[in-house]
Amino acid sequence: MELFPRADRVDDASLVAGLALGDEQAATAFVRRFQNAVYGLALSVTREPGLAEDVSQEAFVRAWRAAGTYDPRRASALTWLVTITRNAAIDAVRARRPTPVLAETLERLIDVTLRADAEETDGTERLALVALESERALSRLRSLPEDQARAVALAVIGGCTAAEVGRHEDIPLGTAKTRIRTGLRRLREALKEGGRDGT
């Protein structure tokens, strides 16, 4: 017996619950509901349609495996799935090293994140920014000195280690660590201040 006979009409969290229970209709509805967002994000990171399709499939497999641990109190289903997709896309790009694709991809993510007119970007680029959780975080990120903002964007959005940030920015490892640490500290402080003043 299908547990979610009208799966297309239920909310996102219920679809994830159905996915965790192995309900076929819920799984089908889950993929149908999010396939465009997942593929769009995968394509924006990989820049290769074929690889983006593979990443999309991998993202849904990872979501199915992790569905039982999903907590709707911590994040929306879309945010949760976008994080899974972003990680799968980064893994796929890293697996193809050494290629120039990584540097190009990271530059694009940094550009999208730090551009003052980020509100005008299209839907697939906007999904890439969900990893930072909120527009408030993005606005604070843009307020950091550019070198720190780039280092934080590479680490948080690009998933880079400090050593990889150093290579990408052509700076010593110690400098990369300092920029990431200082940038994250300032970002946390700014978010706390914003929370206190209600902005």
* DSSP notation for 87-149: HHHHHHHHHT-SSTHHHHHHHHHHHHHH-TTGGGS-HHHHHHGGGG--HHHHHHHHHS-HHHH
- Give the chain's largest Cα–Cα span: 60
Q: Is the pLDDT of residue 91 over 90?
A: no
Between residues 148 and 100, which one has the greater pLDDT? 148
Task: Summarize the confidence of residues 88-108 as an average pLDDT.
Answer: 65
pLDDT class for 106, splitting at 50, 70, 90?
low
Q: Output 61 or 190, whichever has higher pLDDT.
A: 61
* 72 three-state secondary structure: coil
Compute the average pLDDT of residues 115-134: 47
- Within 8 A by CB and 6+ apart from 81, the residues are 34, 37, 38, 59, 63
**pLDDT: which is higher, 74 or 59:** 59
At 198, is the secondary structure helix, strand, or coil?
A: coil
Find the range with the poorest average confidence among 23-27, 33-37, 158-162, 173-177.
Answer: 158-162
Q: What is the pLDDT of residue 99?
A: 40
